Chains A and B, each alone.
Chain A
Amino acid sequence: MSLRVAVGAVFRREMQLFARRKSDWANPLMFFLIVCSLFPFAVGSESERLKLIGIGVIFVGALLAAMLSLPRLFDEDARDGSLELLLTSPEPLAVLILARVAALSLALGVALAVVSPVFALFYALPGDVAAMLALTVAMAVPTLLLVGAIAAALLVSARGGAILTAVLVLPLTIPTLIFGAGAALRVLYGESPAAELALQAAFMLLALALCPLAAAAALKISTD
């Protein structure tokens, strides 16, 4: 019972912070928009060419935008001391971290998934591909945040956090990138994306099972 209360409190607090500090989700979205609009300048504006790179650009852009919000998970709380409260709570730390990642995934994942199909218009992608992109981005963002929570927890007290987060997290997100972008590519070629979607869901579930435990261990190490 009290676990439910604790999880609810952590989740609500995160959502309230998101509602009150709009820059927390507006900045990643702006970053995403700018990244997506840079590529046509570099490769040219013919719609055939844009169609080929569009899925990849949007997917990588969404992952980068989500990654930039990782420090938000623990850094600020470590500075103002509220992380200590999380650590001294009698409830299992892994579950509390999961509540936090869930709140961030819900806020940021939904926002990025909603704008992805809009950005697909930049790249002349058809509607069904855009819808598939929204779905796979919505699955990829929680996967990245779950894996990234480990790195964010480790780097709470380390030097040079932001760039190191990228070095640690991005290689681990390659599977979700392959199958998320792959599913949209299948739709573009008029094939069934079922296999890619199933694999991407499998990665998300695996991350869901293992990452909160690893992140809890990481947080205990770095705040020791």
Chain B
Amino acid sequence: MARTEQQSNEKYGGRWFWRYASPAAFFPLAGRIEALCWVLAIVLSAIGLYLGFFVAPTDAQQGEVYRVIFIHVPAAWMAMVIYLAMAFWSLLGLVLGTRLSFMMSHALAPTGAIMAVISLWTGALWGRPTWGTYWVWDARLTSTLILFFLYVGYMALAASFDDKKKGDRASALIALVGAINVPIIYFSVKWWNTLHQGSSVRPGSSSMATTMLTAMLIMTFAFWAYSIAAAMHRLRTGVIEREGKAAWLRDAMKGWLR
């Protein structure tokens, strides 16, 4: 064990973490990260939801309905963060040619798209009682919708190549193009919105009670943990799918198979 580690250290210029660019090396570690993050996600969301639904005080203006923020806001943040992470891994894959980076990017995309949908859906349910409408063409809503389109485009492109390597690099390029465009689209929509109608009611404009903020932060960490766990699970599935019958994979899967 020590010998192989030393060998790989020499091979990769002494930086231990580069070892994990290999699917064979990362596969077991991904499994451990996944398990840890599932536990974190369940525990944190139990605490966060309890604080959010039972401990946090009722909002003076919005009543009970505001409690959707404990789901809505973390989901909206994750939708953005995951896109950035996806673009980061895509860039890494294009520059270094590491196939695990592309797989990481593919593993993140569905979770990001789900987060965008959750934030739009819960936002609509929140908007109806507070703004009186399910949907307004507000800058944030509109750019989250466009973010969802970008996720879908990325996934559709990746799926449309028979040659997996080509699909990896093609979808990585479109992820980067999207990442450059996201801020441009956001500010365009913002200016467009102020051109046509006055700025709409902004969520969270009133100051928040400490318990509300705590609950929201805990829920945010829960969403992070869930996203990492889901991505790691999808990454491992992707590795199994692609590496097929590699000998190392059969060794690693011994506990699960048969």
Contacts and interface: CB of A to CB of B under 8 A. Distances in A.
B134 to A, nearest CB: 21
Interface in A131-164: 147, 150-151, 154-155, 157-160, 164
B169 A210 contact: no
Contacts of A171: 146, 149-150, 153, 185
Given A164-B160, A221-B169, A174 B153 contact: no
Interface string A38-69: 00000000000000000000000000000000
Interface stretch (A75-83, A94-102, A105-113, A175-183): A175-183
B160 A158 contact: yes
A175 B192 CA distance: 9
A23 interface: no
Nearest to B94: A217
A222 B166 contact: yes
B170 A167 contact: no
A172 interface: yes
B246 interface: no
Contacts of B176: 214
A203 B184 contact: yes
B241 interface: no
B252 interface: no
B161 A157 contact: yes
A23 B146 CA distance: 34
A175 B14 CA distance: 46
A171 B177 CA distance: 12
B185 A175 contact: yes
Interface residues of A, number: 29
Interface string B157-177: 100111101100110011011
B195 A182 contact: yes
B152 interface: yes
B180 interface: yes
B253 interface: no
Contacts of B62: none
Interface in A177-224: 178-179, 182, 199, 203, 206, 210, 214, 217-218, 221-222, 224
Interface hub of B156, B169, B173, B184 (most chain A Cβ within 10 A): B173
Nearest to B143: A174
Interface residues of B, number: 29
Given A158-B170, A178-B188, A178-B192, A172 B181 contact: yes
Contact of A218 (B153, B160, B170, B192): B170
B189 A178 contact: yes
A19 interface: no
Contact of B173 (A175, A182, A206, A217): A217
A154 B173 contact: yes
A147 B180 CA distance: 12
Given A175-B188, A221-B169, A222-B170, A158 B146 contact: no
A160 B169 CA distance: 18
Interface in B123-157: 146, 149-150, 152-153, 156-157
Contact of A174 (B146, B165, B166, B174): B146
B156 A167 contact: yes
Nearest to A221: B169
A199 B177 CA distance: 19
Given A172-B181, A178-B192, A218 B173 contact: yes
Nearest to B173: A218
Contacts of A221: 166, 169-170, 173
A90 B185 CA distance: 36
B177 A150 contact: yes
25 contacts: A150-B174, A154-B157, A154-B173, A158-B157, A158-B161, A159-B161, A159-B162, A164-B156, A164-B160, A167-B152, A167-B156, A168-B156, A171-B150, A171-B185, A174-B188, A174-B189, A178-B188, A178-B189, A178-B192, A199-B188, A214-B177, A218-B170, A218-B173, A222-B170, A224-B165
Interface of A: 147, 150-151, 154-155, 157-160, 164, 167-168, 171-172, 174-175, 178-179, 182, 199, 203, 206, 210, 214, 217-218, 221-222, 224
Interface of B: 146, 149-150, 152-153, 156-157, 160-163, 165-166, 169-170, 173-174, 176-178, 180-181, 184-185, 188-189, 191-192, 195
